[in-house]
A and B are shown apart, each in its own frame.
Chain A
Amino acid sequence: MSVEVAIPEGYVRAFAKPAALSDAKFTYCPGCHHGIITRLVAEVLDELGILERTVGIAPVGCAVFLDRFFHCDFVQAAHGRACAVATGIKRARPDLVVFTYQGDGDLAAIGTAETVHAANRGENITVIFVNNGIYGMTGGEMAPTTLPGQRTVTTPTGREPRLHGYPLKISEMLAQLDGPAYISRQAVFDYSHVVKAKRAVLKAFRNQLEGKGFSLVEILSTCPTNWRMSPTEAGRWVAERVTEVFPLGDLKDVG
């Protein structure tokens, strides 16, 4: 149920729900950055006027309910397979705008091969990669992007790189390939970063409209629930710790 707030005389509405979003309530936990990221995608669909020709691909994980939040067509993919499903849709109907929205477990663990090869083929799709360094919906297990020393339910004494490997820098890996058009890492822990992240998401969609090829925006996110932190602490963790391992900025941009 949406809440309509009456605008008093002399005021203008400065902030409204994007038209791309439905009235379904987000299922994200309090303080999780998914809500901001989902909204950024919706704003971009509105601004580019492409909602009616967009197909989204929901992953397995915290964004599994994504199809409820948007007014556009959606398909729900198997864990990790979103880029392969996107490939099938885009190849069948190149006129559609196709985007995936995936977490780090989905995109950088079980779906590594699908991601790397879709990027390498330069598939003309847009990938929104939400990196919160943990399996959120499943219950806080170690992800490929979990920081060294970070505690999770499967690394109860902290991630030990010699035992569990290092944080997988998938965006840096993809940026080495000839296929992708645009690889960027962003964050949304404060207003200025939200603005930059939105710019990157806009570019990733615009690239597809211009036929430039594979565009991926990695957005560092929080998981206060499984990180056992308050939303404020979680935002600070991203700003101070996560960005050390996963520095922000464009990693590849063919222009």
Chain B
Amino acid sequence: MSRVLMRGNEAIAEAAIRSGLKCYFCYPITPQGELVEYMARELPKRGGVFLQAESEVAAINMVYGAAAAGVRTMTSSSSPGISLKQEGISYIAMARLPCVIVNMMRGGPGLGNIAPAQGDYFQATKGGGHGDYRLIVLAPSTVPEATELVRLAFDLADKYRVPAMILADGMIGQMMEPVKLPEPVDSADIPPRPWALTGARGRPKNVISSFDLEPEGLRRMNLVLQETYREIERAEVRWEEMETEDAELIVVAYGTMGRIVKTVVRLARAEGLKVGLLRPITLWPFPYGAIRRLAERTRAVFTVELSAGQMWEDVRLAVEGRAETPFYGELGGVVPSPNRILEEVKKYVG
């Protein structure tokens, strides 16, 4: 199929519809407004359900219901809205329901602003709500990658019965790029859901719950989650490397920053500086092993992100003293230029 020029938010919406999305629930918030508008316009025409909820809380609980009923379902929002959804996400995780959540991050904390930021890394990768759970977190750095990761998010959510999150920001959401849209999914390829609530006809009743008053029972439910998470950690870690073979300094950056750091690597190489990039694509599961292997043969592993050092904690856990671990972050929606980052890089290499 030929490529089309699309805005990130719209490409994500179209990719979701082509991935078999049946029910989409939302609450308006910037900078993901185009996603909502696209869904309102397109999803009903193509046999799906679009519903603007009264709140973020209601929207995620509608996702809980639709997921329990066994259809592909999704919600999207931005940082403060995602905070409001956390209770619902915790329930969805423990009830082992597949769904996709898009977070177009914005500057925070509080109301913050709508500029690109990566301050929701902890919330996305460490659980976010109450209890021991994880989301599969996918961080696209371009619009084409975002469309691919939407399909992957639905597939992985189904495969493991865990919620999956697309974590990006207004930069990815609002920029336009040529994308090759995925072919519409064949409904026969969507895994069966024998656990879904479809009416107890000819089978024992299905119950979807995150509740067990007995500690032993709740422990067993938790262990199922933990076993699933170990399996995901073994099989689903994704990352991209650029110029890492001979690098003396590896930059670790994801999403919008990962994209900008590619330019930094090219600028550095043009100056003869041996700089490479490791760009995590899955933020959870995090590529600890890949970073550790690179840290064995490099001087420094340099984290660059649009936060005060949230992913930096995971990078340091990966490196465990094998190399220096400097950090450069920007806050409040400030996006550094490649040259500004290069200045920082030069402090540690060359």
Contact = CB atoms under 8 A, between A and B. Distances in A.
A81 B54 CA distance: 12
Contacts of B25: 88
B197 A73 contact: yes
Interface stretch (B141-149, B198-206, B284-292, B338-346): B198-206
A51 interface: yes
A83 B91 CA distance: 15
A84 B199 contact: no
B65 A73 contact: no
A87 interface: yes
Interface stretch (B55-63, B227-235, B298-306): B55-63
Interface stretch (B12-20, B66-74, B117-125, B322-330): B66-74
Interface string A51-83: 111110110000010010011111111100100
Contacts of B64: 75, 77-78, 81, 84-85, 88
B210 interface: yes
Nearest to B208: A75
A91 interface: yes
B1 interface: no
A245 interface: no
A235 B208 CA distance: 34
A88 B55 contact: no
Contact of B58 (A72, A89, A95, A113): A113
B72 to A, nearest CB: 10
B88 interface: yes
Interface residues of A, number: 35
| Interface residue range, chain B | 35 or more
B186 to A, nearest CB: 20
A84 B92 CA distance: 14
A75 B207 contact: yes
Interface in B22-80: 22-23, 25, 49, 51, 53-55, 57-59, 61-71, 73
B226 interface: no
Nearest to B210: A76
Nearest to B205: A73
B209 A85 contact: no
B314 interface: no
Contact of B54 (A64, A78, A117): A117
Nearest to A98: B65
B131 to A, nearest CB: 12
Contacts of B208: 74-76
Contact of B197 (A71, A77, A96): A96
Interface string B74-107: 0000000000000110010001000000000000
B345 to A, nearest CB: 46
A73 B206 contact: yes
A75 B205 CA distance: 11
Interface of B: 22-23, 25, 49, 51, 53-55, 57-59, 61-71, 73, 87-88, 91, 95, 197-202, 205-211
20 contacts: A58-B209, A64-B211, A67-B205, A70-B205, A73-B199, A75-B65, A78-B88, A81-B88, A84-B57, A85-B61, A85-B68, A86-B65, A87-B51, A88-B23, A89-B197, A92-B71, A96-B199, A114-B58, A114-B61, A117-B53
